[in-house]
A and B are shown apart, each in its own frame.
Chain A
Amino acid sequence: MWMQHSRYKPIAVRELQVTQINQPLTDLADYKQALVVFRHGVAVVGQAWLPVTNGRVTVADLRLVEVRLAAAIWQRTTNESAPPKRSMPTASVVICTRDRPADLARCLPGLAQLADQGHEVLVIDNCPSDDQARNLVARYPQVRYIYEPRPGLNVARNRGLQTAQGEIVAFTDDDAIVDPGWLDALRANFNDPTVALVTGITMPIELETPAQIWFEESNGFQRGFERRVFDVQSLDPVGAGRIGAGVNMAIRRAALQQIGLFDEALDGGTPAMSGGDQEFFYRVIARSYRAVYEPAALVWHRHRREWADLRRCIEGYGVGLFAWWTRAFLVEGDWTVLKNGSMWFVQHHVREAARAILQRPGATPRDLALAELRGALAGPGAYLRARIKAREQTGKG
């Protein structure tokens, strides 16, 4: 099986400014391969999987990538210049965490820097089993700690949206580190009043285990290196997953009146397992707002290390996708879901599972493909169960 292949050795992750392309990357003695993330100013303009020989990536290899970066660099330099900082909207940053103190400790310094620049930073501690997160946040007086007793990632997100004071609210996860230019890159895109949502690019912090490498190679968070604008004319709302993911997004609060909050029957901590971000994106597009994918807004994400966790996560993606499509059909009354959902089920899930079983070249590992298929089948039922559970919870609260 895929994970047992001995050729999957750890891969180094390095970032490189395009201007430094004439120097080799060194200090890579423990690695055979490197994922190089190319940057042009704050923007991420490309990536390449390059061989490591004698602990270094050679200039010749780097130069071979150069032409592939040209389009992204050009797009950035020919776009109209960014609006002045003073005309950008005020921003709050929200991080939802649940019993992951080690990750939270790594993500807090970058957020504290944003807080020092005058932005509001909120850590929502979601149904914690101890007070480790509270103690960690206490070390940074500029960061606000908020305790949310009801479990569920979307419950925590909603708490953040309702508590935050900024005109826009930027979200990232506790297992991610934000780039210094992240928030300003997101904010600049809200200059257009029709934009209600901006998502950014997500790159791996490390690629040390087969699970992490597979996730990155299968383009888990990959949405490309060019800025894109989505609206209902260019994107069927049912395909809202293409816009980005909840690990790196910002929302205009004034638009929430039309769009609504996150659905608390979806995403982590519920039977639906994921999909809460994509379902929100669906409503952004369906309500005729615009969404922007901005590759200058970068967060580094630590992918799941263990294969079993990855499998659960992939199964969760299957459940979440069909759970939120079920919601779109039942709550929003969107009949196109029936067509698009069944097409995607056959063309993606069934096909991938079949290819995995037949062990076709490039197929998804069998256990992952089957887990995703299983998840997809369970999705609609999971959403209904999650609705009932969420209603009981709010009833109690």
Chain B
Amino acid sequence: MHTPTVSMIIPTHNRSALLLRHLGALGQQDWPLHDLEVIVVADACTDSTVAQVQAFALTAPFQLHLISHVVRSAATTRQVGAQAARGRVFIFLDDDIAVAPGFVRAHMEAQAPNRVVLGYSRPMLPHRPTWWQRDAHRWWEDMFHGFAQPSHRYSYRDFFSGNASLAAEIFWQVNGFDLTFSGRLEDYELGYRLLKAGATFSFAPAAVGDHHDQTNLAQWQRRIRQEGIADVQIAQRHPELRNYLFDRLYHPALITRFIRLMAFIVPQHGERFERLILIAIDFCERFKLRYRWQKLVAALREYNYFCGIASMLRARDNYKRWIGEAPLRQRLAPDAPQIDLADLPTEPAAEALFAAASTKGAIIALAGVPLLALPPQPGAEPLRVEHVRAAVRAIAQQKYFPALALGMARRHSSLSAQLPEQE
């Protein structure tokens, strides 16, 4: 059999109808189908997935392999798929994404050595969406819209294994997914190691698929809990990310502190507490009390995130000690370089300058006038001049220019007061 260039890896769990529809649509790809293999990895499926995929494989216009196992882990399921894949490039795709005909070609055209291509999983609103689903929809669209801006600085948290492609070579170079991440965020963790290994991220809006996400608020809360667990795992595995991950947890309001305390000391009442808040959230949505609704959703998120952290760290003292070990807030290194936008050095020197700025942070100046400090951002791609320009533009718009305009206006009014009265 011909060895295909592209291996598409689709993990699935009890969604046979949706999966079959999307597999059928893959036959419409304008990429040569003999050059594409699809690997479906069914994890703990109790529905008809296995039988249906086997039946489909007999007539599929591309090579289709089915692996079925029971591990209940997204990381392992994807890893097993990758081990079976023979292609030069892996495309990881979720089973709830219906891809456009140009999907594979768009991924392949955006591919380059050492590059991770992020596709556009266009979020589709469910029928009669709830407020939370609408907000989630906007959150996804905002994220992809951000990717499309040339000044976007990618971080490891931009890597979603739901729709991404990368060369098998770099995937194995970093040993693929970390199999200890059984719940969630295994993709973030992989993204971090990829960036560290020198991979670049790139967004391909043409690699588009319709993402039929049916998640609701209650399911999201379970994910948030797993996210709390995974964030602790990430911080344990990569201590340099700890500050970055937990920086925002400092100086909380009183109510937030109370919620966190509850997650640690009375986990046995958690279910009841959560159900109560969910009822209150429904009530607010029913009567369109938007402000209360936002507060309650934020509180519920905080609670579940901390339940995740608590289940990893057990006692609250552990958490306090653990978080107190490292100094918080990202700061400039004492020997952080200065980048002068009006006087950028030429190529070899510039590369060294930006490399230093990526790890130590930088002071950004314009013609000798320091404008702002850019602290190092762990887990982000190396600093480029576009990122610096965007930061300068943002701070100028928010801070410097209003001050300047005010100063000008003051000076002007004092000047015009001295002018003789006009007729």
Q: Which residues of A contact B (CB under 8 A)?
A: 51, 53, 58, 60-61, 64, 67-68, 70-71, 74-75, 78, 80, 192-194, 231-233, 236-237, 258, 286-290, 332-336
* Cβ-defined contact, B142 with A336, below 8 A: no
Give the distance to chain A from B298, nearest Cβ to Cβ, in Å. 12
Given contacts A236-B290, A336-B290, could you give 16 more A-B pairs where the C-beta distance is less than 8 Å? A53-B423, A64-B412, A68-B409, A70-B405, A70-B408, A74-B401, A75-B397, A78-B401, A80-B149, A193-B141, A231-B138, A258-B129, A287-B134, A288-B137, A333-B286, A333-B288
Cβ distance B204 to chain A, nearest Cβ, rounded Å? 15
A336 proximity list for chain B (CB < 8 A): 288-290
Q: Would you call B396 and A78 a contact (CB within 8 A)?
A: yes
Q: Are B422 and A78 in contact (CB under 8 A)?
A: no
List the A side residues contacting B250 at CB < 8 Å: none
From B397, which residue of chain A is reached at the shortest CB distance?
A78
Q: Nearest chain A CB to B295's CB is how many angstroms away?
A: 12
Bound-state Cα–Cα, A64 to B286, Å = 53
Cβ–Cβ < 8 Å partners of B122 in chain A: 193
Q: In the complex, which residues of chain A have a beta carbon less than 8 angstroms from the beta carbon of B416?
A: 64
A54 to chain B, nearest CB (A): 10
Distance A258 CA – B133 CA, assembled complex (angstroms): 13
The binding surface of chain B is classed by DSSP as: helix
B237 CB within 8 Å of chain A:
no
Q: Nearest residue in A to B151 (C-beta to C-beta)?
A: A80
The 8 A CB mask of B278-313 against A (1 = contact, 0 = none) is: 000000001111100010000000000000000000
Contact present for A194 and B408 (CB under 8 Å): no
Q: How far is the CA of A74 from the CA of B129 in the complex (A)?
A: 39
> Among A67, A232, A333, which residue has the most Cβ atoms of chain B within 10 A?
A67
- Establish whether residues A78 and B393, one from each chain, have CB atoms under 8 Å apart when the complex forms: yes
With a cutoff of 8 Å between Cβ atoms, the chain B residues found around residue A258 in the complex are: 125, 129
- Which residues of chain A come closer than 8 Å to B289, judged between CB atoms? 335-336
State which size class the interface on B falls in.
Answer: 20 to 34
Q: CB-CB < 8 A to B149: which residues of A?
A: 80
Does B329 count as interface, using CB distance less than 8 angstroms?
no
Is B62 on the interface with A (CB-CB < 8 A)?
Answer: no
Closest to B125 in A: A258
CA distance A239 to B142 in the complex (A): 24
Q: For A71, list chain B residues within 8 Å (CB).
A: 401-402, 405
Q: Which B residues between 387 and 423 are near A, CB-CB below 8 angstroms?
A: 393, 396-397, 401-402, 404-405, 408-409, 412, 416, 419, 422-423
B138 touches A194 (CB 8 A): yes
**Chain A neighbourhood of B138, CB < 8 A:** 194, 231, 288-290
Contacts of A78 in B (CB 8 A): 393, 396-397, 401
Whether B131 is near chain A, meaning CB under 8 Å from some CB there, is yes
Q: Quick check: is B145 within 8 A (CB to CB) of the other chain?
A: yes
Residue of B nearest to A53 (CB): B423
| CA–CA, A60 and B416, complex, Å | 10
Q: What A residues does B137 contact at CB under 8 A?
A: 288
Minimum distance in angstroms from A30 CB to a CB of chain B: 19
- Interface flag for B135 (CB, 8 Å): yes
- B250 to nearest A CB, angstroms? 23
Given A236-B290, A333-B286: A193 and B412 within 8 A (CB)?
no
Residues of B within 8 A of A193 (CB): 122, 141, 144-145
| Subset of 28 A-B contacts with CB under 8 Å | A51-B422, A60-B422, A67-B409, A68-B409, A70-B401, A70-B405, A71-B402, A74-B397, A78-B393, A78-B396, A78-B397, A78-B401, A80-B149, A193-B122, A193-B145, A194-B142, A231-B138, A232-B290, A237-B290, A286-B288, A287-B134, A288-B131, A288-B135, A333-B288, A334-B288, A335-B287, A336-B288, A336-B290
Q: Which residue of B lies closest to A54 (CB)?
A: B423
Chain B: minimal CB distance from A60 (Å):
7
Closest CB in chain A relative to B211 CB, distance in Å: 13
Bound CA–CA A74/B399 (angstroms): 12
Residue of A193, A236, A289 ringed by the most chain B CB atoms within 10 A? A193
Enumerate B170-208 residues with CB–CB distance to A below 8 Å: none
Residues of B within 8 A of A286 (CB): 288
Could you tell me the distance between the alpha carbons of A305 and B404 in the complex, rounded to whole angstroms?
A: 41
Cα distance A236–B396 when bound, in Å? 29
Chain A contacts of B419 at CB under 8 A? Answer: 60
| Residues on A with beta carbons closer than 8 Å to the beta carbon of B134 | 287-288
A287 neighbours in B (Cβ, 8 Å): 134
Complexed CA–CA distance, A327 and B197 (Å): 58
Q: Which residue of A lies closest to B284 (CB)?
A: A335
Nearest neighbor of A337 in chain B, beta-carbon distance:
B288
* Contact A332-B288, Cβ < 8 Å, known A53-B423, A71-B402, A78-B401: yes
1/0 contact trace for B249-290 toward A, CB 8 Å? 000000000000000000000000000000000000011111
- Within the complex, the shortest CB–CB distance from A343 to chain B, in Å, comes to 15
Q: Which residues does chain B contribute within 8 Å of A231, judged by CB atoms?
A: 138
Q: How far is the CB of B230 from chain A (nearest CB, A)?
A: 27
Q: For the complex, what is the distance from the CA of A60 to the CA of B134, rounded to whole Å?
A: 53
Say whether, besides A232-B290, A335-B287, A67 and B408 are in contact (CB < 8 Å): yes
B64: shortest Cβ distance to chain A, in Å? 33
Q: When A and B form their complex, which 9 residue pairs have the shortest distance between CB atoms, in order from nearest?
A: A288-B134, A334-B288, A335-B287, A70-B405, A67-B412, A78-B397, A194-B141, A74-B401, A67-B408
Once the chains are docked, how many angstroms separate the CA of A193 from the CA of B131?
18
CB distance from B292 to the nearest CB of A (A): 10
Report how far A289 CA is from B131 CA in the complex, Å. Answer: 11
Closest to B401 in A: A74
In the complex formed, the residue of B with least CB distance to A329 is B288
A287 nearest in chain B by CB position = B134
Cα-based distance from A51 to B423 in the complex (angstroms): 9
* Residue of B290, B397, B409 with most chain A CB atoms under a 10 A cut-off: B290
B145 CB, min distance to chain A CBs, angstroms = 5
**Complex interface bits, B119-159 against A, C-beta within 8 A gives 1, otherwise 0:** 00010010001010011011001101100010100000000
Q: Which residue of A has the minimal Cβ distance to B419?
A: A60
With the chains together, A231 CA to B294 CA distance in Å?
Answer: 14
Task: Determine how close the nearest CB of chain B comes to the CB of A252; give it in whole angstroms.
Answer: 12
In whole angstroms, what is the CA distance A336 to B286 when docked? 11
Chain A: CB-nearest residue to B294? A233
Closest to A74 in B: B401
What residues of chain B lie closer than 8 Å to A194, measured between beta carbons?
138, 141-142, 145
When distances are taken between beta carbons in the complex, the residues of chain A under 8 Å from B141 are 192-194
What distance in Å separates the Cβ of B306 from its nearest Cβ neighbour in chain A?
24
- Measured in the bound complex, the distance between the Cα atoms of B151 and A190 in whole Å is 19
Quick one: which of B206-256 are within 8 Å of A by CB?
none
Question: A57 → chain B, closest Cβ, in Å?
Answer: 11
**CB-defined contacts of B286 to chain A, threshold 8 Å:** 333
Question: CA of A53 to CA of B397 in the docked complex: distance in angstroms?
Answer: 38
- Smallest Cβ-Cβ distance to A338: which chain B residue: B287
Q: CA–CA, A133 to B144, complex, Å?
A: 46
